[in-house]
Structure 1
Amino acid sequence: MRVSSGERLLNYVILSLFAIFALFPIVTIFVTALRPQIGVTDGGLHWDNFVTAWELGRFDEALINSLLVAVLVVSAALLLSILAGYAFGTMRFRGSTVLFYLFLLGLMVPAEAIVIPLFFDLRTLGLTDTIWAVAMPQIAQSVAFGTFWMRAQFRALPNNLIEAAALDGATGMAALWRVVVPPSLPSIATVSVLMFMWTWNEFLIPLIMSPGGQWRTAPLGLAVFKGQYTSDHALVAAAGVIIAAPIIIVFLMLQRYFISGMLEGASKE
């Protein structure tokens, strides 16, 4: 089907409007971060606001905590999701449907409904104020979505790939890592970016599971900083840019695979 020049122009106009709508808040925050602080009369762009916010908020510790939690959550949840998705997507066994719907319950139960009893359980085990108390609930949440995502990806693969690997004498695990995973890398990258974003932005679980503040993550650090410097919009905006920067960097690094995985998922539907 040929697309006329008028239709193409209309598409560009609509996409440009959506891009402006999406980028406007980001640009606004960045511009606000470069404005003078309260009591500063000098004009121009104040890049030193980022340094001041970094030093006052001590975001180095919060960013390291968030990075460690995100690496643990994404690596563990991604591995479990690939294994579970491979089982549900390529194998047929008794109770697979019921077990898969049990996994999907993780998508339906909000964290707010279970975080308090979960806190008491982890406190009984002596795990509160540790990385495990912050990471394990998020691993469980991410595995639910990751299993759903990877099952759809593996079910869309041609059956002859796995059958050919079996005829060549490959075991189930060898077929997974050598035959099934390579063509699924875009989908794996997409779910990895989503897991990283969810983990990085998580606020409630680190707040509850680390009452002593030993594992204060970036969103918690930003909330504390905002409470101390509420009236200084330039510093608060600079702190927001600092906290959001890692997510932007990860997305830019993996955007090709992310977009490819999203398009593949849409085409499979």
Structure 2
Amino acid sequence: MTGRLSRLLSLAFLVIAAVSVIVPFLALISAALQPTDTLVPRLEWPTDPQWDNFATAWSMAGFGSLIGSSAFIAVVVVPIAVVCSTLAGYAMGSMRLPGKTALFAFFIAGLTLPYEAIVIPLYFTMRDVGLIDTYWAVILPLIGAFMPFGIFWMRAHFESVPMEIIEAAQLDGAGRFRILVTILLPGARPALTTYGLLTFMWAWNQFLLALILIREPSRRTAPSGLGTFVQQYGENIPLLAAGTIIVIAPIVILYFVFQRKFVAGLVQGALK
């Protein structure tokens, strides 16, 4: 009886969690397809879906250039952050280094540092080196901001690898780099995929740094452009909903493409 009750409670929790995610998304789609003069959209399929709202929002907000900016920033940030985090996590998770614990604590302290605390000094630093109004003004801080979590994530993975495997490879004459590339990385694919997807999502959703460090509106990220779009057309709910769907669509598509590997990485990290 207790086992059956536990399964029912688990099922009820999963249903509630699914409904809490699906219903707002359906409401957003419904609102995006309503006529533009609709003030309070309801959760219902419109009798005459206004698919033109997406084209109107795309052209009025200039999402073409904004999405291109977000994509460029994310595509540059992800491989650099993944490579640097993997190398650092490998060193801290499988090597005997002096002061490794203190250094790891220093990196973890970066997780507690909010963007709001560094954005002003960061602005003056980027201005002094001439990077204001360039993509690198956002790319470089994002790489540094994502490193603490990446090091923590990859260190946890490499620490779970039995040291006997590494020692056996060393006895066979394999160097540190060869051990990483040929032995450890093939088993780290779920962890790497999960971290890469999370990094892409965080870089794509970047709002504050792009808003402050990039002056040209057309070169900002899609979320920051959506914020400007909201200020201009705050009363046009269907257009705002259509713009929101345009911004989040790449993340949703990417998740569905890599869903299995993403979940496998999360489960693997949880078990470790």
What TM-score do the two structures reach when normalised by structure 2?
A: 0.93
Contact 1:130 1:214 in 2 (8 A): no
Q: Does 1:99 align with 2:98?
A: no
Structure 1 position 43, deviation (Å)? 4.2
Structure 1 unaligned runs (5+)?
A: none
1:129–1:213 Cα contact (<8 Å) kept:
no
Whether the aligned pair in 2 keeps the contact of 1:119 and 1:209 (CA below 8 Å) is yes
1:211 aligned onto 2:210: no
Greater shift in the superposed pair: 240-249 or 192-201: 192-201
Greater displacement, 175-184 / 212-221: 212-221
Q: d(CA) in 2 for partners of 1:254 and 1:230?
A: 34
- The CA deviation at 1:193 is 1.2
Following superposition, the deviation at residue 88 of structure 1 comes to 0.3
Q: What is the count of residue pairs matched by the alignment?
A: 266
Cα deviation code 1:128-175 (max 9, x no counterpart): 111111111110011111001100110011112212221222211111
Checking the alignment, whether the CA contact within 8 Å between 1:129 and 1:214 is kept in structure 2 is: no
CA contact (8 A) 1:73 1:139 kept: yes
Corresponding position of 2:25:
26
Distance change in 2, residues 1:108/1:29 (3 Å)? same
- Aligned twin of 1:35: 34
Offset of residue 249 of structure 1:
1.0
Between the aligned partners of 1:203 and 1:235, the Cα distance in structure 2 is 20
1:54-77 CA-to-partner distances (Å, cap 9, x unmatched) read: 111110100000000011111111
For residue 38 of structure 1, give the secondary structure of its aligned residue in structure 2: coil
Q: Provide structure 2 residue ranges, at least 5 long, that are not aligned to the other structure.
A: 39-45
* Residue 245 (str. 1) matches residue 244 (str. 2): no
Give RMSD over aligned pairs.
1.8
How many angstroms apart in 1 are the aligned matches of 2:106 and 2:247? 35
Q: Is structure 2 residue 206 aligned with structure 1 residue 202?
A: yes
Given that residues 154 and 191 in structure 2 are in contact (C-alpha distance below 8 angstroms), is that contact kept between their aligned partners in structure 1? yes
Would you say 1:68 and 2:72 are equivalent positions?
yes
The reply to whether residue 166 of structure 1 matches residue 170 of structure 2 is yes
Using the alignment, how far apart are the partners of 1:255 and 1:141 within structure 2?
A: 25
Change (3 A) 1:91 1:3: farther
- Contact 2:110/2:148 (<8 A) preserved: yes
Give the secondary structure class of the aligned counterpart of 2:217: coil
- Per the alignment, do residues 87 and 222 of structure 1 end up closer, same or farther by CA in structure 2, a change over 3 Å counting? same
| Aligned residue number for residue 264 of structure 1 | 268
Determine if the alignment matches structure 1 residue 222 to structure 2 residue 226.
yes
Is 2:191 the partner of 1:187? yes
State TM-score, norm by structure 1: 0.94
Residue 15 of structure 2 corresponds to which residue in structure 1?
A: 16
CA-to-aligned-CA distance 1:53-104 (integer Å, 9 cap, x gap): 1111110100000000011111111110000000000011111111111111
State whether structure 2 residue 45 is matched by structure 1 residue 45: no
Offset of 1:47 from its aligned partner?
A: 1.4
Larger deviation, residues 28-37 vs 162-171: 162-171
| Separation in 1, partners of 2:10, 2:218 | 50
* CA distance in structure 2 between the aligned counterparts of 1:214 and 1:22, rounded to whole angstroms: 31
1:59 corresponds to 2:63 = yes
Q: Aligned partners of 1:8, 1:119: CA distance in 2, in Å? A: 53
The alpha-carbon deviation at position 6 of structure 1 amounts to 5.1
CA distance in 2 between counterparts of 1:7 and 1:220 reads 44
Q: Does the alignment pair 1:235 with 2:234?
A: no
> Which region of structure 1 is more displaced relative to structure 2, 256-265 or 205-214?
205-214
Whole-Å Cα distance in 2 between the matches of residues 91 and 11 of structure 1? Answer: 41
**One-letter amino acid of the counterpart of residue 21, structure 1:** S
